[in-house]
């Protein structure tokens, strides 16, 4: 067994190292302060052969290691200098992807596996004398859930070499002795955290009595996962007795009642991995399986809706917990019917107080936390990044979300009773699409003997018992079991599996997929029994057919681990060969693990799991299917109502206690506004955009109000949802030993899903300026009928209070009438801007509309506030009752009211409450009857309050300098915003063959839409070329490596994504797979040198193509693209300018576009142009080979310090480069994502009608079509 250890480049930038040093010195209580800190990447290689030299040379080049340091020694440990080695606990996602790259690039026979760790060298001011092997600050430099740490290099035998296989264990509950079988089962249940209740254990004793043998550990574990609260929702299906009265309905029954009452527009509810809603006729866009040519098919496209929670894993290990939460929900969306497609996501995080260092808010308290839980701050620093990164790498935009904090004492000082989110809510949801012929699962599609397939990544010892662990309240006693349930995410593998599903789906009725489920809680032990049961069969499976990277796993571990990115499918015999060929093309692992078993003549079916490697226990599982899915009795919940004695909230008294008794009304409103705007639920979320309790009766009442009353009256169905009922965290205070606990309050998160007929008529909160639309007014619709309850408001919470009367829907008919009126308003076209009243109240509604429009407002409270007193004005401004504000032209006031006259709220509930000021007066002036304002609030100051928490979090998480730069933009009141300054007409017909949506061409030139594993923007790229008159052809790198030629293509386009997860650097693995493969290298070099071809690389394609510059004529001075200077993935809509005038030969892609400045989508983590020398940048500029550059909103070149206009820190604002002959263009922003006029984040209303179907960026693709001729 041979190994190789290589020392790579810096793991931290100098700034990161300084920040880490500061955190250690601030938090660790060290014997001696840290003087300096450095980090290096270390690569550990498990070799198959002995050719270390070849392996070393290639890895040094691919990973850009300093060649003279790769084999050097790290500093020895001394009293003043310590080197700490941080390595993964399990096989890391980096290892899986990195190993895949080395195998594709020709080292499959030399490398078994490669892994990456860190060596962190710390130098102390003075020598350590006490317990020098201790690492008191280890929690700052490693994640105990996913990593190990030590003062010596890891044992590579332990890291790479599989140990002895763990055996199956017999749980002999029937052994002789004093204990009964039930008592022994109770002990086993507690020891292994199975979370079985008493009735389930009694049932299992009887099952195995009938079997005439004791259970195996894998059988008990499987039963626990399949029947866990997480998987079976026992609480929501329970019978309820409240105050001695038997309730008629279960919680789930009341939710189902909404669908029963209003089944309209629902195709599938409660019966699949997501709900299916009726869609409209739209375009199904996919490559033809036989030709690869992308085709557009008009058909009904049904909509999926799904939501999940991943609270427990996120509390334990935030980044992987949230990442796998997003990944699991994405798999749900892909496993509907016979295969479906995730499209857009949502995420949400509810935590206790943040306690940001140096930014503690007045209402926040620190009561400690369980030692094995992450703090709320750490959750919000890490979990949103985990969720965002999974979504980004998979290729699904996350479009909406929520973020709240709460920690409040509902008891008293002597006996506190804390409500909050120490155990957080992590919500992952989304929408997708499914073809109508695949929308429903039908057992008739499954033939006897169908093959059972596990699709996706390998099994590993990851996430064992997560279903049961998340079903129990968390205490420090369960910490080790919690660790065992932590998972890891590999979105690149999930993308491979989704590509297999997409290809099968494109075959329509010929799809090889007969049945599909995703693998989640409980792993295969839950997914496979559920799969065959839903198809009406039993199943026979062979354990050793399951694809695994760890041969030491016991039957229990192999069967029940929760390794992510897996699906289970049923494929009929006659479709198996086609399915296998699809998987191989996508390089997606799969295993054929068994077949379905038909029921016997008595209607009984069996579940059999064999182990061909075991002579002692050849059948780890041999049970009737009925044993695994017991009919059983329903859980019974017996609770009593409890009224909390909550005092009313007095806003004036609370504010004066914080200020002074003599504070003026203006001072009170200003202070209240600042407090409320700093509340996370109210303020900016930009840092997330650019990641047995005592309340049972309340839960029942909440579900009853929604499921039996409100939704049926509104004729709204709830077709899908998720419940989480174990939301209590308990621990003992380290100093006092006193028991502490925090219980989450009953919390409802509701997301509406609907078909939007015309996105151009969607309202936004952006106030339109006087200079653009003339005089306008603000109309306020009060849906609370004058009520102004302050209970639960952000203002009350900012004083650590709740109040005793909450806002309510008091008149359901009023809401129905309101939406009828909204339909008329949409048809009338009079509304310019719209925003609802919710978190933070009316003042927040108005302020957020001002922020979006960068203008001022005069707010008139006559008729809204009951009087001009401080108490009434505060209630009017800060209550969170239902209501909305509309901006309309002054001349349209009558038309606006007319839309409400026949069906809307009564006249007295509709008021003119303000006017929009000229842009130069960016302040909020609040009046009540008197001409003298109550208060003037500056827009800049308000927006800085509103952004303060997000800014502080961004500063803590990312580059502080970049956070400062973005925060400073708020104060620029003269900022003109993004704009379109075009030197061409988007509708200009520069080519008579220009396509429109749905057009097809008999002899269109062929463009290879090239993709590699992990690429996710190929569909948009294909559509852009189709729209310009090309025939886009799907070409996978596996086709090229198998011998396919590029000779038939006139164009080549490489799109965005995360090829191989970018683990060797963005685009590196993809590029090396070409450079290191003889046939591929020859094909690409020949293509680039053909004078009749063009090439385009966007984002990941740009990163790849620039690393092929040795094959491309006229590309010698191109940069590579490195990590963004902000240290964060940047997803923005920014400005670029185009200048192709200085090049000797015009670009194929930029005909007539020079001199234009316009917005474009930016979405990358490694977009900073990095040049080998300063002269390269100068040469590139002098020769006109950098035709796209980032500019600010004033159209000035955005230098690296101009963030976020320059999103990545590229020198000279370089956003794209071209070859000297103009045939190759590589750019980091995404023109293909905004070719449709409708899909840009912002388009001037006056111009969108002029442009028609396509926006300005389609010109780039039409230009290429013009060049081809």
- CA 133/CA 142 separation, integer angstroms: 16
- CA 660/CA 247 separation, integer angstroms: 51
Average pLDDT, the chain: 91
Secondary structure of 346-360 in the HEC alphabet? EEEEEECCCCCCCCC
Assess whether pLDDT exceeds 80 at residue 599.
Answer: yes
Fill in the DSSP letter of residue 20: H
With bands split at pLDDT 50, 70 and 90, how would you rate the model's confidence at 371? confident
Among the listed residues 219, 308, 880, 1232, the single catalytic one is 1232
Contact in structure between 496 and 587 (CB atoms under 8 Å): yes
| Rounded mean pLDDT, 162-191 | 91
- What pLDDT, on the 0 to 100 scale, is given for residue 999? 47
For residues 488 and 188, the model is more confident at 188
Assess whether pLDDT exceeds 70 at residue 478.
Answer: no
| Rounded mean pLDDT, 938-952 | 96
- What pLDDT, on the 0 to 100 scale, is given for residue 633? 63
- If one counts every other C-beta atom within 10 angstroms of the C-beta of residue 68, the result is 8
Contact in structure between 346 and 396 (CB atoms under 8 Å): no
Superfamily of 166-227+445-630 according to CATH: PurM-like C-terminal domain (3.90.650.10)
- CA 321/CA 338 separation, integer angstroms: 28
Cα 70 to Cα 4, 7, 42, 56, 658: the distances in Å are 11, 4, 9, 8, 60
Class of domain 1006-1268: alpha beta
Residue closest to 1228 by CA, chosen among 1075, 1103, 1105: 1103
Inter-helix orientation angle 181-191/198-211, to 10°: 120
Which part of the chain has CATH 3.90.650.10? 166-227+445-630, 759-951
Cα 1196 to Cα 973, 1150, 1174: the distances in Å are 17, 20, 21
- CA 712/CA 792 separation, integer angstroms: 26
Region of poorest pLDDT, from 599-608, 684-693, 707-716: 684-693
667 catalytically annotated:
no
894: Cβ contacts below 8 Å, ≥ 6 apart: none
**151: phi then psi, degrees, rounded to nearest 5:** -95, 5
418-465 pLDDT, tens per residue?
999 999 999 999 999 999 999 999 999 999 999 999 999 999 888 775
Among the listed residues 216, 230, 1151, 1230, the single catalytic one is 1230
Q: Which residues pair with 342 in a beta bridge?
A: 432
Handedness of CA 768, 773, 777, 783 (dihedral sign): negative
Q: Give the strand pairing for 606-610 and 538-542.
A: parallel
- What pLDDT, on the 0 to 100 scale, is given for residue 235? 76
Q: Hey, what are 914's tokens?
A: 């303000």
| Rounded mean pLDDT, 318-341 | 95
- CA 1057/CA 1021 separation, integer angstroms: 12
270-323 pLDDT, tens per residue?
999 999 999 999 999 999 999 999 999 999 999 999 999 999 889 988 999 999
Among the listed residues 504, 1099, 1102, 1202, the single catalytic one is 1099
Contact in structure between 1036 and 586 (CB atoms under 8 Å): yes
| Rounded mean pLDDT, 1099-1114 | 97
* CB burial readout 496-510, b (16+ within 10 A) else e: bbbbbbbbbbbbeee
105 catalytically annotated:
no
Name residue, tokens 């999940």: 308
- Residue by residue, DSSP assigns 732-801 as E-TTT--EEEEEPPP----------S-GGG---S-PPPHHHH-SEEEEEEETTTT----TT-HHHHTTT-
Contact in structure between 394 and 327 (CB atoms under 8 Å): yes
Residue closest to 1164 by CA, chosen among 1128, 1198, 1199: 1128
**778: phi then psi, degrees, rounded to nearest 5:** -110, 125
CATH number attached to the domain at 759-951: 3.90.650.10
- What pLDDT, on the 0 to 100 scale, is given for residue 1161? 94
- What pLDDT, on the 0 to 100 scale, is given for residue 480? 56
The torsion of the CA quartet 663, 669, 673, 679, rounded to 10 degrees, works out to: 60
SS3 260: helix
- If one counts every other C-beta atom within 10 angstroms of the C-beta of residue 169, the result is 16
61: Cβ contacts below 8 Å, ≥ 6 apart: none
- CA 512/CA 505 separation, integer angstroms: 9
Measured at the CA of 510, the angle between CA 506 and CA 515, to 5 degrees, comes to: 90
Assess whether pLDDT exceeds 70 at residue 471.
Answer: no
Contact in structure between 42 and 22 (CB atoms under 8 Å): no
- CA 150/CA 155 separation, integer angstroms: 11
Assess whether pLDDT exceeds 50 at residue 712.
Answer: yes
Which part of the chain has CATH 3.40.50.880? 1006-1268
Q: Give the strand pairing for 425-434 and 341-351.
A: antiparallel
- Residue by residue, DSSP assigns 77-146 as P-SSEEEEEEEESS--HHHHHHHHHHIIIIITTTEEEEEEEEEEEEEESS---S-TT--TTHHHHS-TTT
The torsion of the CA quartet 1200, 1202, 1205, 1210, rounded to 10 degrees, works out to: 0
- CA 847/CA 852 separation, integer angstroms: 9
How many residues can be counted in the chain?
1269
1245-1266 pLDDT, tens per residue?
778 888 888 999 999 999 999 9
Handedness of CA 1208, 1214, 1220, 1226 (dihedral sign): positive
| Rounded mean pLDDT, 657-671 | 93
- CA 568/CA 531 separation, integer angstroms: 7
Fill in the DSSP letter of residue 1212: G
Assess whether pLDDT exceeds 90 at residue 609.
Answer: yes
For residues 923 and 710, the model is more confident at 923
Superfamily of 241-440+700-724 according to CATH: PurM-like, N-terminal domain (3.30.1330.10)
18 catalytically annotated:
no
| Rounded mean pLDDT, 1006-1023 | 96
- CA 1216/CA 1149 separation, integer angstroms: 12
- CA 1064/CA 43 separation, integer angstroms: 11
- What pLDDT, on the 0 to 100 scale, is given for residue 694? 37
6-56 pLDDT, tens per residue?
999 999 988 889 989 988 888 767 778 899 999 999 999 999 988 899 999
Residue closest to 787 by CA, chosen among 706, 841, 840, 845: 841
Region of poorest pLDDT, from 127-131, 206-210, 371-375, 663-667: 127-131
Q: In which order are the strands placed within the sheet that holds 606-610?
A: 513-518, 566-571, 451-456, 590-597, 538-542, 606-610, 621-624
SS3 310: coil
569: Cβ contacts below 8 Å, ≥ 6 apart: 452, 453, 455, 513, 514, 515, 516, 517, 531
Q: Hey, what are 1087's tokens?
A: 């293509």
| Rounded mean pLDDT, 733-753 | 89
Q: Which residues pair with 309 in a beta bridge?
A: 427
What Rg value do the Cα atoms of the chain yield, rounded? 31
With bands split at pLDDT 50, 70 and 90, how would you rate the model's confidence at 994? very low
Fill in the DSSP letter of residue 619: -
Q: Give the strand pairing for 1094-1098 and 1051-1054.
A: parallel
């Amino acid at each position: 067994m041979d190994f190789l250890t290589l020392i790579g480049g810096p793991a931290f930038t100098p700034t990161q190292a300084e920040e880490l040093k500061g955190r250690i010195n601030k938090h660790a209580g060290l014997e001696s302060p840290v003087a300096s800190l450095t980090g290096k990447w270390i690569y550990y290689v498990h070799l198959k052969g002995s050719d270390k030299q070849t392996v070393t040379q290639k890895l040094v080049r691919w990973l850009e290691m300093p060649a003279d340091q790769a084999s050097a020694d790290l500093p020895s440990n001394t009293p003043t200098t310590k080197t700490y080695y941080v390595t993964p606990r399990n096989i890391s996602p980096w290892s899986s992807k990195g190993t895949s790259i080395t195998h594709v690039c020709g080292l499959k026979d030399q490398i078994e596996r490669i892994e990456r760790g860190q060596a962190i060298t710390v130098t102390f001011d003075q020598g350590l004398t006490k317990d020098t092997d201790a690492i008191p600050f280890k929690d700052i430099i490693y994640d105990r859930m996913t990593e190990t740490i030590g003062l010596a290099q890891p044992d590579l035998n332990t890291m790479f070499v599989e140990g002895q296989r763990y055996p199956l264990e017999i749980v002999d509950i029937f052994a002789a002795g004093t204990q009964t079988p039930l008592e022994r089962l109770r002990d086993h249940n507690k020891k292994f955290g199975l979370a079985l209740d008493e009735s389930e254990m009694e049932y299992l004793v009887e099952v195995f009595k009938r079997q005439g043998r004791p259970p195996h550990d894998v059988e008990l574990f499987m039963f626990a996962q399949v029947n866990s609260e997480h998987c079976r929702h026992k609480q929501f299906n329970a019978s309820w007795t409240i105050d001695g009265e038997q309730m008629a309905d279960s919680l789930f029954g009341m939710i189902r009642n909404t669908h029963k009452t209003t089944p309209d527009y629902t195709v599938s509810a409660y019966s699949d991995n997501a709900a299916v809603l009726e869609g409209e006729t739209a375009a199904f866009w996919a490559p033809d399986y036989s030709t690869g040519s992308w085709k557009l098919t008009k058909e009904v496209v049904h909509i999926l809706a799904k939501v999940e929670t991943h609270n427990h894993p996120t509390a334990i290990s935030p980044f992987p917990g949230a990442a796998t939460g997003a990944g699991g929900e994405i798999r749900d969306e892909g496993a509907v019917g016979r295969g479906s497609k995730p499209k857009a996501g949502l995420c949400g995080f509810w935590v206790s107080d943040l306690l940001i260092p140096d930014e503690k808010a007045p209402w926040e308290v620190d009561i400690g936390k369980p030692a094995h839980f992450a703090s709320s701050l750490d959750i919000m620093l890490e979990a949103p990044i985990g969720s965002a990164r999974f979504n980004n790498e998979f290729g699904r935009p996350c479009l909406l979300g929520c973020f709240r904090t709460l920690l409040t004492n509902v008891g008293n000082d002597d006996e506190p009773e804390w409500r909050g989110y120490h155990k957080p809510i992590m919500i992952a949801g989304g929408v997708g699409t499914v073809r109508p012929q695949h929308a429903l699962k039908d057992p008739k599609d499954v033939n006897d003997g169908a093959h059972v397939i596990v699709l996706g990544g390998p099994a590993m010892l990851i996430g064992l018992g997560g279903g049961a662990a998340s079903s129990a309240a968390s205490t420090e006693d369960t910490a080790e079991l919690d660790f065992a349930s932590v998972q890891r995410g590999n979105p690149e593998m999930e993308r491979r599996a989704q590509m297999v599903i997409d290809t099968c789906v494109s075959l329509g009725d010929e799809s090889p997929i007969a049945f599909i489920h995703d693998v989640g809680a409980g792993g295969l032990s839950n997914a496979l029994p559920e799969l065959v049961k839903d198809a009406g069969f039993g199943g026979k499976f062979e354990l050793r057919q399951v694809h695994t990277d760890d041969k030491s796993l016991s039957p229990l571990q192999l069967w029940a681990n929760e390794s992510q990115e897996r699906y289970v499918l049923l494929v009929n015999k006659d479709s198996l060969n086609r399915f296998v060929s699809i998987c191989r093309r996508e390089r997606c692992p799969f295993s054929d693990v068994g077949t379905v078993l038909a029921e016997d003549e008595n209607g009984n079916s069996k579940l059999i799991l064999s182990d061909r490697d075991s002579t002692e226990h050849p059948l780890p599982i041999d049970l009737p299917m009925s044993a695994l899915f017991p009919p059983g009795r329903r859980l019974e919940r017996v609770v009593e109502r409890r009224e909390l004695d909550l005092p009313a909230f007095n806003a004036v008294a609370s504010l004066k206690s914080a200020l002074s008794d003599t504070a003026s009304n203006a001072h009170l409103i200003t202070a209240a506004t600042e407090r409320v705007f700093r509340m996370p639920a109210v303020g900016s979320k930009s840092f997330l955009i650019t990641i047995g309790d005592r309340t049972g009766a309340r839960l029942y009442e909440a579900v009853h109000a929604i499921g039996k009353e409100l939704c049926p009256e509104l004729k709204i169905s709830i077709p899908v949802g998720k419940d989480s009922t174990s939301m209590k965290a308990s621990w003992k205070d380290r100093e006092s030993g006193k028991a502490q606990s925090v219980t989450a309050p009953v919390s409802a998160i509701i997301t509406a899903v609907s078909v939007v007929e015309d996105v151009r008529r969607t309202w936004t909160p952006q106030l339109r300026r006087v200079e653009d639309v003339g005089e306008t007014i603000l109309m306020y619709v009060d849906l609370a009928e004058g009520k102004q309850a302050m209970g639960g408001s952000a203002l009350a919470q900012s004083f650590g209070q709740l109040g005793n009367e909450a806002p309510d829907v008091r008149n359901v008919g009023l809401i129905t009438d309101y939406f009828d009126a909204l339909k008329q308003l949409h048809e009338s076209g009079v509304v310019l801007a719209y925003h609802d009243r919710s978190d933070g109240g009316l003042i927040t509604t108005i302020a957020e509309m001002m922020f979006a429009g960068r203008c001022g407002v005069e707010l008139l409270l006559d008729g809204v506030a009951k009087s001009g007193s401080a108490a009434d004005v505060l209630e009017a401004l800060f209550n969170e009752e239902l209501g909305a504000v509309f901006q309309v032209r002054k001349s349209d006031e009558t038309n606006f009211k007319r839309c409400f006259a026949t069906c809307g709220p009564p006249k007295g509930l509709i008021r003119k409450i303000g006017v929009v000021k000229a842009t130069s007066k960016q302040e909020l002036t609040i009046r009540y009857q008197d001409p003298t304002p109550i208060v003037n609030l500056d827009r800049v100051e308000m927006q800085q309050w509103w952004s303060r928490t997000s800014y502080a979090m961004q500063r803590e998480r990312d580059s502080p300098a970049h956070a400062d730069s973005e925060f400073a933009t708020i104060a620029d009141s003269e900022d003109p915003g993004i704009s379109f300054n075009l030197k061409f007409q988007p509708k200009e017909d520069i080519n008579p063959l220009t396509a429109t949506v749905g057009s097809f061409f008999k002899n269109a030139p062929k463009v290879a839409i090239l993709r590699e594993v992990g690429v996710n923007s190929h569909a948009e790229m294909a559509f852009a070329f189709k729209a310009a008159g090309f025939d886009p052809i799907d070409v996978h790198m596996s086709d090229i490596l198998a011998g396919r030629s590029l000779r038939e293509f006139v164009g080549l386009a490489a799109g965005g994504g995360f090829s191989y997860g970018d683990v060797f650097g963005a685009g590196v693995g993809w590029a090396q797979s070409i450079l290191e493969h003889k046939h591929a290298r020859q094909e690409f070099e020949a293509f680039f040198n053909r004078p009749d071809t063009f090439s385009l690389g966007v984002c990941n394609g740009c990163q790849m193509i620039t690393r092929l510059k040795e094959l491309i004529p006229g590309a010698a001075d191109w940069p590579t693209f490195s990590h963004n200077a902000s240290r964060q993935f940047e997803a923005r809509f920014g400005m670029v300018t185009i200048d192709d005038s200085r090049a000797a030969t015009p670009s194929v892609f930029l005909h007539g576009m020079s001199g234009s400045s316009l917005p474009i989508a930016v979405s990358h983590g490694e977009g900073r142009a990095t040049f080998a020398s300063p002269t390269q940048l100068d040469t590139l500029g002098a020769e006109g080979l950098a035709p796209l550059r980032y500019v600010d909103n004033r159209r000035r070149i955005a230098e690296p310090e101009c963030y976020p206009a320059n999103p990545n820190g590229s020198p000279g604002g370089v956003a794209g480069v071209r070859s000297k002959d103009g045939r190759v263009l590589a750019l980091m922003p995404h023109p293909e994502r905004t070719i449709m006029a409708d899909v840009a984040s912002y388009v001037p209303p006056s111009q969108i009608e002029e442009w028609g179907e396509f926006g300005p960026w389609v010109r780039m693709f039409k230009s290429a079509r013009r060049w081809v001729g």
